């Protein structure tokens, strides 16, 4: 089956040690590899302040993992994470489709601008020093006259 | 056309405009110096395609102190991007990155 990409974020209590984090990571990895998926990247955001208390915790250790795998895998992973006491919060989000859409719009925008530039007799890429200098707000026609003209 | 308000595409409502046209204006024939900056969708203007729940720097300006999502009529965000913004904020809330409410 075609691979889907998911992002899994889980939050651990602030007093978890590096070792415990590694242990949990290996547990997740075991499930993933058993269900024929793979972990693309793992990111440890470290300890962060929570915006609200979760079970008397004011801080948490965030871990992000990008996982390629099937829906069944994520279902299993979700079930397991729910059961674990150590994980105070987790979230799984599917990202591959959104990524595709973003890529498509970006390439579309690029090719469109190139097409228009070529039509105007310009080189397809923007040259340095061309266009409005950055940091200078445009005045005039952008402001809509909102009063009454008699 | 009354006050040129029909053209306010994407802009907010006519709030805070003060009083309406006074009868005295006509005789004087002066332009009222009431300019309002046109609201532009930040994501369209900056060409931000990906509104991600992890990007706090991007999301925080749209979550004022009461922790509510800033409405479109104030931020000027277009419908498409407001929808994406909403999902991103809701996801970030689930992960306690953004509060649901302010104390």
Task: Read off the tokens for A56.
Answer: 């008397």
Res. A120: pLDDT tops 90: no
What domains appear along chain A, each with residue ranges and CATH number? 4-97 (3.30.70.60)
Which residues have C-beta within 8 Å of that of residue A122, sequence separation ≥ 6? none
Least confident interval from A15-24, A92-101, B2-11, B42-51 = B2-11
Percentage of chain A modeled with pLDDT above 90: 63
Could you read off the pLDDT of A20-65 as tens digits, one per residue?
Answer: 999 999 999 999 999 999 999 999 998 999 999 998 899 999 999 9
Which residue did the predictor score with more confidence, B2 or A28?
A: A28
Only one residue has tokens 């990247």, namely: A41
Only one residue has tokens 């003060």, namely: B18
Count of CB atoms situated within 10 Å of the CB of B61: 10
- The CATH architecture one would assign to domain B52-103 is Irregular (4.10)
* Number of helices followed by number of strands (H, E) in chain A: 3, 5
Residues in chain A with CB shorter than 8 Å from the CB of B50 are 98, 102
Percentage of chain B modeled with pLDDT above 90: 42
The chain A residue lying nearest B32, using CA atoms, is: A147
Task: Read off the tokens for A128.
Answer: 């340095």
pLDDT band at B37 (very low <50, low <70, confident <90, very high): confident
Single out the residue of A3, A2, A6 nearest to residue A74, CA to CA: A6
The chain A residue lying nearest B49, using CA atoms, is: A102
Task: Name the residue ranges covered by the structural domains of chain B.
Answer: 52-103
Looking at CA atoms only, how far is residue A40 from chain B in angstroms?
A: 18
Q: Mean of the pLDDT values across residues B35-62?
A: 87
Report, in angstroms and rounded to the nearest whole number, the Rg of chain B calculated over CA atoms. Answer: 18
Least confident interval from A47-61, A129-143, B64-78 = A129-143
């Amino acid at each position: 089956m075609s691979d889907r990409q998911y992002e899994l974020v889980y939050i651990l209590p602030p007093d978890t040690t590096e070792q415990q984090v590694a242990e949990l990571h290996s547990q997740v990895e075991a499930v993933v590899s058993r269900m024929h998926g793979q972990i693309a990247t793992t990111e440890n955001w470290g300890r962060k302040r929570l915006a609200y208390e979760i079970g008397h915790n004011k801080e948490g250790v965030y871990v992000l993992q990008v996982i390629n795998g099937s829906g069944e895998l994520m279902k299993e992973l979700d079930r397991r994470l729910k059961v674990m006491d150590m994980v105070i919060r987790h979230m799984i989000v599917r990202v591959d489709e959104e990524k595709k859409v973003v890529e498509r719009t970006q390439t579309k925008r690029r090719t469109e601008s190139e097409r228009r530039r070529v039509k105007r007799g310009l080189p397809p890429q923007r040259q340095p020093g061309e266009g409005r200098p950055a940091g200078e707000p445009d005045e005039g026609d952008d402001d809509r006259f909102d009063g009454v003209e008699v | 056309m009354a006050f040129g308000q029909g053209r306010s595409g994407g802009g907010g409502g006519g709030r805070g405009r003060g009083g309406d046209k006074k009868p005295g204006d006509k005789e004087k024939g002066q332009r009222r110096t009431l300019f309002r900056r046109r609201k532009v969708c930040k994501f369209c203007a900056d060409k931000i395609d990906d509104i991600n729940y992890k990007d706090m720097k991007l999301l925080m300006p749209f979550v004022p102190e009461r922790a509510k999502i800033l409405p479109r009529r104030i931020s000027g965000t277009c419908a498409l991007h407001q929808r994406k913004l909403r999902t991103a904020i809701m996801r970030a809330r689930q992960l306690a990155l953004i509060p649901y409410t302010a104390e």
